[in-house]
A and B are shown apart, each in its own frame.
Chain A
């Protein structure tokens, strides 16, 4: 009974993580087309959500391990998975609040690493794997995607220099819609797997499923729906940073950065050097800005770089603290869930102070959290965010009586 409760809780929390993964990464594919107007914000997230769902259902081979080589798989227990997921969710929400794109995989690994350190000691974590799988790729991804985007952008502008922008913009917008769709589909196949892997591992560990079997159909569908819903909800704060905050994106530039993003993601997935989708898309947008000779807001880029470096240790810290509680049976699990709910509520309430939705995502380049340092660019009482209730139709008989 106790075990069933814990298993159900972990599955629910895994799906919540999947949801945060979706809205955190929605911008990777869709920030560009939303910023250039190639896709309307709503259309973009619906398309992204659908492709993520399809992608998740397409991924047949679920990662056999969730440790990623950072530690010995046999060390993992179900409470540790719970703690790791909590660390990842809270880190994802915090970075979303500040509008910072950061890797959801790094958050998940970080959370698990923190939990493993608390459970099995720091010696059980392979430090060099962190260097080769986290630090190095975090430098390589923006560099490679950035260089690709610089050249692609330069060429796109050079080739269409004499083309009237009425003609070129339409074409580049189509190109952008295709490349961003590919990014969304690829994201579904790679990131949908993560949650399926976690849930399947938990089911196997609890004896509900035979060892060595793949994910069950309901797990695949649930994970796909969770990541799709997350993508649909948009993560508009991150969308604003990526689409507006780093650099203003023009249409040819958006198409070039989209091409660089999808090419780099596909190459990294199939040539054996894994790169984070988030780092790649950010690098492409930066590179495309440099390639166009636009004014890149390096202060935003620097803040993002800090967030990337802090993601693993930050999530590890939360995961580690959660692991201290997770080991205390049902009571510990209940306390953890209450704490998670409280944290989510606080972050949500703070985010409401400067709301960003599909209506105002492209209005400004700033994601405000606390006090407005510069004059407010998102007005708390923006009428578009809370449209006044439509006036009720005057009833017919009243009109008659008035006449």
Chain B
């Protein structure tokens, strides 16, 4: 009986790590957008926080693009 334990292990690790990373980026981005909005509503400048937020969401977006790259067979 042949079971590819190495493949199983790497699937488990990659799945868990990448979903956690994606969620951290998304949640942090969302939190920072909210902080920036509240700041600017209170009359302060939220620009710095907002750009950091967009950076986080941008990386999350890149992860989505990488996922699409993996899905479409013509790309690789």
- What residues of chain A have their CB less than 8 Å away from a CB belonging to chain B? 55, 58-61, 128, 131-132, 136, 140, 144-145, 147-149, 151-153, 155-156, 159-160, 162-164, 167-168, 171-172, 175, 178-179, 182, 185-186, 189, 252, 255-256, 259-260, 262-264, 266-273, 275
Contacts and interface: CB of A to CB of B under 8 A. Distances in A.
Given A259-B26, A262-B67, A272-B4, A151 B10 contact: no
Contacts of B71: 55, 58, 182, 185-186, 189, 266
Contact of B64 (A148, A163, A182, A264): A182
Nearest to A153: B23
If over half of A's interface residues share one DSSP class (helix, strand or loop), that class is named, otherwise mixed; here it is: helix
B19 A259 contact: yes
7 contacts: A148-B20, A175-B60, A182-B64, A260-B15, A263-B15, A267-B18, A273-B11
B24 to A, nearest CB: 6
Given A259-B26, A263-B19, A267-B11, 5 more contacts: A148-B15, A155-B27, A163-B34, A189-B71, A262-B19
A148 to B, nearest CB: 4
Contacts of A164: 34, 38
B73 A59 contact: yes
B49 interface: no
B16 interface: yes
A3 B22 CA distance: 53
B20 A144 contact: no
Contact of A152 (B20, B28, B35): B20
B50 interface: no
Nearest to A157: B27
A169 B10 CA distance: 32
Contacts of A272: 4, 7, 11
A43 B4 CA distance: 40
A260 B60 contact: no
A338 B37 CA distance: 63
A80 B54 CA distance: 55
Nearest to A132: B3
A172 to B, nearest CB: 7
Given A167-B37, A171-B29, A273-B4, A155 B15 contact: no
B72 to A, nearest CB: 5
Contact of B34 (A144, A167, A252, A267): A167
Interface of B: 1-4, 7-8, 10-12, 14-16, 18-20, 22-24, 26-31, 33-35, 37-38, 60, 64, 67-68, 70-74
B7 A167 contact: no
Contacts of A270: 70
A343 to B, nearest CB: 35
A152 B34 contact: no
Contacts of B1: 128, 131-132
> Which 5 residue pairs across A and B have the least CB separation, nearest first?
A171-B30, A167-B34, A159-B27, A264-B15, A152-B23
Given A144-B11, A185-B71, A167 B30 contact: yes
A58 B73 CA distance: 7
A155 B7 contact: no
B26 A168 contact: no
Contacts of B16: 144, 147-148, 151
A155 B76 CA distance: 33
Contacts of A168: 27, 30-31, 34
A272 B14 CA distance: 12
A263 B70 contact: no
A145 to B, nearest CB: 7
A185 B68 contact: yes
Contact of B7 (A60, A185, A186, A271): A271
A263 B8 CA distance: 14
B26 A189 contact: no
